[in-house]
Structure 1
Amino acid sequence: MRYEAITWDRLAEELAGHLDASPAAAGDDWLKVGIDGPPAAPGGELAGLLAEALRTRGRAVQVVGTGGFLRPASLRYEYGRQDPDAYYSGWTDTGALWREVFGPLDPGGTGRVLPDLWDPVRDRATRSPYVTLPPRGVLVLHGPFLLGHWFPFDLTVHLRLSPGALVRRTEESWTLPAFARYEMEVGPTDLADAVVRADDPRHPAWTGFRA
C-alpha cells in the first residue's frame, strides 16, 4: 500500500471535496462519514477539521464521538475494568447509535440527532438536547471499531497506526489486544475508502481514495 504525505488541513479539504462531489450528495438526503481509529489517533481533531471544510461548502454538520455513547459502567465493567474483549464489543452502545443517530437520518427521517447519550465520568445520562440536522447535512462520527457494524456511511476513513506506534502511544495498554482482534476480524485497512497513516501525528500520509 502506497502512502502520500499530506497535512491534516489538506486532508480535510480533500475529504470534503470528495464527499461534496459524490453522487450521494446530489439529493437532499443526509450524508454520513465515519472516521475510524484508536484513541491514540487524532480522530476527533480530523472530524473537527472536516466539519469546518464542509461548512465552508454550505453543508450543515453534526460531529458525534462514540465516547458519548458508552454503556453504563455496570455493563462496561461486568467482566472487570480491563477486559479487552468487553472493550472491543461491549463498551459502545451501538444500538443507541442506530436509534439516536443513524435512524433519524434515514430517508424520510426527522433529522433529530442526539449528539451524546452517556457521561462515562459521572456515569449518568448527559441529558443533551436533540439537534436537528437539515436536509443535505452531514453526520461525522468518529471513534474506534466503527467498521464492521454495517453503519450506513457514505465515506469511511481509517486512521492507521503501525503496531509499534500503537503500543507507544496507547495510554491504556490493556486495550491493545482489542485492536489486534479488530485488525484480524474486520480488517479496517481493507474496508475503508481512505486510509491515513498516523504514526507521527505531525506528518500524516494517506492512500488517496480507493475504488
Structure 2
Amino acid sequence: MADGSEDAQVAAREVSRQRLVEMAADLLAREGREAVTTRAVAAAAGVQAPAIYRLFGDKDGLLDAVAEHGYATFLAAKHADARPEDPVEDLRAGWDLAVEFGLANPELYTLMYGEPRRGTDSAAFRAGMEILLERIHRLATSGRLRVSEDLAASLIHATARGAVLTWLSLPGDQRDPALLTALREAMITAVTLDEPAVHDASPASAARALRALLPEQTTLSSAEQHLLGEWLDRLTADHHEDR
C-alpha cells in the first residue's frame, strides 16, 4: 500500500509540474518574459507560490523547465527521413523548419536560444541534435559534405539561431524574407558541395579518390602518407576480394 501511495504522490507531483510549465509557457507567449513571475504562474495554475519553489527550486529553474518544454515541442514538429531523395534539400527543409518554429514562437525561442546552454542538457534537445547529426551524416556518406561533420553541425545551428534572433531584433518594417533565404543559402554553400566528391558512395570509391589525391597534399609527413596509403590500398583491395 505504501508503494501505491508513493506512486500516486509522484504522479500528482509530475502533473502539477507539467501544469506549471504549461502555464508559464502560455504567459511567456502572450505577455513576454517579464510577465513570467512566480506569483503570476502560481495564480494561473491555481496553486500557491511555494509550490514553484518546491518543484523547480526558483524562478530560474522554472524557466529552464519551460525551455525544455520548448525543445520537446520543437522535437515533436521535426521529421527525420532516413532515406531522403536529396540530402541537401533535406537539410534546407530542416533549417527552414527550425527558423519557422522560432518565428512562430518568438518569446519561447528567445528563452531557449538567447542565453548560452539554457535547457541544452534536456533529453529533447539531445534528440533534436541527433536528428541534425543524422542529416549531416547522410550528406557525408553521399559525398556532398564540404566540411567536417562537427563543423557542419555548428554552422547549421549557428545560422538558424542567428537568423531567428536577428529577425526578431528588427523593426517590423525592416523584416525582409530575403534575409532568411540569403542566410540559408550561405549555410548551404559553406556546408555542402555542388556535386558529390565521390560519385560511388562506397568505402572503396572514397579510398580510391583519396589515394589519387594523396601525393598532392603536404599536411602529412612522408611516413604518415605511406601508412595512410597502405590503409587506403587495403580498403580498395578488400572491396575487390568481396566481389
| TM-score class normalised by the smaller sequence | under 0.3
Report 1 or 2 for greater relative contact order, CA contacts < 8 Å, sequence distance ≥ 6: 1
Rg (Cα) greater in structure:
2
